[in-house]
């Protein structure tokens, strides 16, 4: 499974919706991600842990492959930020 396979803005929005529905802590726990330290996806005025959103979005786009595990890819400027911006999303670095 590779981060490059994620091409669906709809899948990212589905992951954001799931994040908002469950709340940050439960979402991260359920999908096995830690808290973001620097890179956040900003959507509708709210910040979301970018690496976790991307990993979960992969599962929404490709249900047969499922979400990416936190160890399947690295986060940050060269990976998650590039992918999200490529899909039209804003990433805030704090």
Range of the domain at 50: 3-93
What is the structure's pLDDT at 40? 98
Quick one: pLDDT at residue 1?
54
Half-sphere exposure of 5 (CA within 13 A, CB side): 17
Q: What is the mean pLDDT for each group of 10 consecutive residues in the chain (94 residues)?
A: 88 98 98 96 97 97 94 91 97 95
DSSP label at 9? Answer: H
Measured CA distances, 1 to 17, 23, 83 (Å) = 23, 26, 15
Query: What string of DSSP letters covers 29-87?
Result: HHHT-PPPSSEEEEETTEEEEHHHHHHHHHHHH-TTT-PPPTTSS--SIIIIIHHHHHT
* Closest listed residue to residue 7, CA positions, set 85, 61, 81, 76: 61
pLDDT digit string, tens, across residues 26-42: 999 999 999 999 999 99
- Angle, helices 9-22 vs 50-61, to 10°: value is 120
**Whether 6 contacts 59, CB under 8 Å:** no
Number of structural domains the chain divides into: 1
């Amino acid at each position: 499974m590779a981060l490059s396979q994620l091409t669906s803005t709809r899948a990212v929005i589905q992951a954001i919706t799931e994040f908002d529905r469950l709340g940050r802590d439960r979402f991260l726990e359920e999908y096995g991600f830690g808290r973001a330290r620097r890179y956040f996806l900003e959507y509708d005025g709210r910040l979301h842990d970018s690496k976790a959103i991307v990993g979960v979005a992969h599962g929404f786009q490709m249900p047969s492959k499922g979400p990416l595990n936190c160890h399947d890819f690295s986060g940050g400027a060269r990976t998650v930020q590039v992918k999200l911006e490529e899909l039209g999303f804003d990433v805030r670095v704090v």
